[in-house]
Amino acid sequence: MNICITGSLGLIGSAAAQHFLDAGHTVIGIDNNQRMKLFGKQGDISESKSSLQKQQHFIHYPADITSQTALESIFRKHRFDAVIHCAGQPSHDKATSMIAKDFRINAYGTLLLLQNTQKLASDATFIFTSTNKVYGDNPNQVPMVEMEQRFEYADKTYRGIAESTSVDQTLHSFFGSSKLAADTYTQEFGRYLGLRTTTLRLGCVTGPHHASVKLHGFLSFLVKSLVHKQAYEIIGYKGKQVRDQIHALDVASAFAAILKKPKTGEVYNLGGGSNNAASILELIELIEKRLGTKTKISYTAIPRKGDHICYITDLTKFRHDFSNWKLSYSLADIVDELLDHELQKN
Beta bridge partners of 299: 234
For the segment 72-76, the average pLDDT, to the nearest whole number, is 98
pLDDT for the residue numbered 281: 97
Q: What is the pLDDT of residues 16-52, one digit of tens each?
A: 999 999 999 999 999 999 888 888 888 888 888 888 9
Number of domains in the chain: 1
Q: What is the pLDDT of residues 260-314, one digit of tens each?
A: 999 999 999 999 999 999 999 999 999 999 999 998 999 999 998 889 999 999 9
Phi first, then psi: what are they for 49, rounded to 5°? -60, -45
pLDDT for the residue numbered 77: 98
CATH code of the domain covering residue 156: 3.40.50.720
Contact, 111 vs 105, CB < 8 A? no
What pTM was estimated for this model as a whole? 0.97
92 has a pLDDT exceeding 90? no
Rg of the chain on CA atoms, in Å: 19
Phi first, then psi: what are they for 158, rounded to 5°? -70, 125
Q: What is the pLDDT of residues 120-171, one digit of tens each?
A: 999 999 999 999 999 999 999 999 999 999 999 999 999 999 999 999 999 9
Domain that holds residue 334: 2-345
Beta bridge partners of 85: 6, 128
pLDDT for the residue numbered 346: 63
What average pLDDT is seen over the chain?
96
Cα 141 to Cα 161: distance, rounded to the nearest angstrom: 11
pLDDT for the residue numbered 122: 98
